[in-house]
Amino acid sequence: MRSLLTVSLLALVVGPLGVACSVASEEDAEVADSALSDADLGTKALAIMGAKVPNAQQQCNRCHDVNTATLTKWAADYKTTVAFLSDESKSKDERINYLRRDPADPTSTFAPAKLGFLTAGSHFAGTGAIDKTRTPATYAQAQILSKLFDGKGDELAKFKANTLMLIEPEYDRLSAGEYNTIATWLDKGMPALKDLLKEEPRPTTCTDDFAALKAHASEIKTKSWASVNKENRVPMFACDAAAKPLDCFKQTFNGAEIFADSATKDYGKGWSQDGGTIRVLRELAYHTFYWTRTSADGRFVANGMSGGGADGAVIADLSASLASGGPKTRDIAASAKYDPDFWPDNKGFMFQGTPNGGVFCAQSLLTNPATTRISFNEPQCSKLDTIGLYQTVGQRIGDNSVADHFVVNGKFASDNPGQTASDHDLEPTFGPDAKAIIRVMFAQGNDAESGYQVKQSVELNTPFEGDIMMSRSSTLLGARVAGEHGQLGYQVRQVTGTFVDNAYRFTLKPIGRICMAGNKANFSFDERFLVTHHYLTRADFASDAEFAKYKDKGASDIFITDFVTGKKQRITHMNPGQFAIFPHFRSDGWLYFMVRDASGAAKKEFIAASDWAIRQTEATPTP
């Protein structure tokens, strides 16, 4: 679940540095660094991080491409951060607040993205266990943080807790010696980098290609999860039994709509674009952390929760809004951190960052009114070994309730918006060795209650592609393309899985290209639409005068591509300081997303929903 590529380094060096990445002795790492040649020092540092050098620990490279583009970005952020934190002309509070998601808000959580590579050593702050002689670079940077938080023990504890995110439980953090090696090399300016990492050229052009995507939408029309759930009469939240999707969310209480049209709210005027309607489903009493996902029926909305403590996540049950006697709230606390997702049959969900790592749970756990908190040790939950972070899920469309489930992940950039003008689309640096990792979950019994186990893992080449998302039927993969000068839109690949000898054999075939700015993308349940959020820049405005209102506050909007018409549409128009983020479809075509609103003195967050895709399909039916 995250914010800049420096957060990616957090996951790389604080998280996925598996056993093989921590095998060097402290003495070997510490004593030799200052005496090594530039080439030897660079090779040693790159091997620790999992780059393409001899004796590299490839576990480190499971989530992030350690290549020239990535390292250049990490190094620049690292140097900027160290320089700012070392500037004693600024007060301690100024420097501490610089590390927050919102520097203007002293209650805001700390953002790993603000630390650069220093994030990898945040766990050394406040400890006396670092040897000044053996690991001078580690010691010096630990001292920067220790002095900065001197006398602020509570803030230091929050800082360390906030910046120790994205850790997969099977991996260790960097040792003092390993950190020293990499920091020493970075401080020297990464000498010999280009000689050590020879890389093939990145792509430089993007051309829209919708023909095969349109054909796919047509071919799967009657057998997509949208069609299956409709045929199985899966009730959609806030819809009458016989209602069309456009008639949903129109319930009232005491003469007022429970799910207000955003146009009726001062903060929401102008949000909806191109003839769509946006409904405000709920104003939250908590702040979210990383991405949002909703159940197939739209009833449950899951997030990480900023400042959630041991229960670092929350699942909102929107059905409480329709309770007898008037709208109420029901929030289920969850002992997790980030990356929720729901399976398309509406029978299961998963979370990352739990005490048991990645975990699958039957959705009956949420529908049970007695559930107020989830520990992920419940009998309805089963541990999913080896599931990587920033996963997305798909499900084979079968003839029973325990059809095989799939989880895919690959290289990623981390996005947790800070609600400031500095938020921007994440720069992809995925390299030629990037891969999609598909893990297959097989049922342990006859229904979702019995759980699933990961029985197979397959890696497939997706050069220069990352932030990979799977369509609900598991037949498409959508990924951001890392070009020579930044993102080059989205590549869509068709997934073919053949079950032979009790295992799947997968192949990938490119079937479409979408040239559009944005971040991680998601597919609709009917697999006709691809949606993402995009942080606005000058290029998104007709004039300097129009952009001027956004320049100091920032904003992000939701953008959708229609495979059938080839239309690429901005469907929201947030006001300055408002961020529409993490769009995700439910089964009938309603599109849910979060709005983080920093435009007023009291920062607020909303769950919202748009009917734009439904209207588009009615206007131009899928052939």
Residue type, 393: V
Q: What angle do CA 413, 418, 423 make, to 5 degrees?
A: 60
Residues β-bridged to residue 394:
406
Residue 58: the pLDDT is 58
The domain segmentation of the chain, as residue ranges, is 5-196, 211-619
Q: What angle do CA 345, 337, 98 make, to 5 degrees?
A: 135
Tell me if 456 sits within 8 A of 440, measured CB to CB: yes
Share of the chain above pLDDT 70, in %: 91
Indicate if the pLDDT at residue 21 is higher than 60. no
Place of tokens 């097989």: 442
Residue 469 vs residue 306, higher pLDDT: 469
Residue 422: the pLDDT is 81
Split at pLDDT 50, 70, 90, the class of 12 is very low
Cβ atoms within 10 Å, residue 91: 9
Half-sphere exposure of 283 (CA within 13 A, CB side): 10
SS3 category, 564: coil
Query: For 293-304, what is each residue's pLDDT tens digit?
Result: 999 999 999 999
Query: For 518-565, what is each residue's pLDDT tens digit?
Result: 999 999 999 999 999 999 999 999 999 999 999 999 999 999 999 999
How far is residue 418 from each of residues 299, 342, 355, 509, 575, measured CA to CA in Å?
27, 25, 27, 37, 16
Query: For 435-457, what is each residue's pLDDT tens digit?
Result: 999 999 998 888 888 889 999 99
Split at pLDDT 50, 70, 90, the class of 3 is very low
Binning the chain into helix, strand and coil, the percentages to the nearest 5 are 30, 30, 45
> 603: closest CA among 403, 336, 419, 339?
419
Residue 447: the pLDDT is 85
Distance CA 276, CA 287 (A): 27
Mean pLDDT of 463-480: 96
Q: Where are the beta strands (DSSP E) in 318-401?
A: 331-334, 338-342, 348-354, 357-362, 373-374, 381-383, 392-395
Query: For 503-513, what is each residue's pLDDT tens digit?
Result: 999 999 999 99
Distance CA 337, CA 357 (A): 10
Split at pLDDT 50, 70, 90, the class of 19 is very low
Distance CA 110, CA 163 (A): 7
Asked which of 36-50, 106-120, 364-378, 392-406 is least confident by mean pLDDT, the reply is: 106-120
Average pLDDT across the chain, whole number: 88
Q: At what angle do helices 38-49 and 176-187 cross, to 10 degrees?
A: 130
Mean pLDDT of 236-248: 90
Share of the chain above pLDDT 90, in %: 63
The fold of 211-619 is: Methylamine Dehydrogenase; Chain H (2.130.10)
Indicate if the pLDDT at residue 357 is higher than 80. yes
> 280-293 in b/e burial notation, b at 16+ Cβ within 10 A?
bbbebeebbbbbbb
Query: For 247-292, what is each residue's pLDDT tens digit?
Result: 999 999 999 999 999 999 999 999 999 999 999 999 999 999 889 9
Query: For 563-612, what is each residue's pLDDT tens digit?
Result: 999 999 999 999 999 999 999 999 999 999 999 999 987 789 999 999 99
Residue 122 vs residue 374, higher pLDDT: 374
SS3 category, 172: strand
Query: For 69-123, what is each residue's pLDDT tens digit?
Result: 888 888 888 888 889 889 999 999 999 998 887 787 887 778 777 777 777 788 8
Q: What angle do CA 559, 564, 567 make, to 5 degrees?
A: 35
SS3 category, 596: strand
Indicate if the pLDDT at residue 5 is higher than 70. no
Residue 309: the pLDDT is 63
pTM, rounded to two decimals: 0.87
Residue 491 vs residue 123, higher pLDDT: 491
Distance CA 402, CA 6 (A): 39
Indicate if the pLDDT at residue 11 is higher than 50. no
Run of H or E including 592 = strand 591-597
Split at pLDDT 50, 70, 90, the class of 172 is low
Residue 192 vs residue 163, higher pLDDT: 192
Split at pLDDT 50, 70, 90, the class of 15 is very low
Residues β-bridged to residue 459:
437
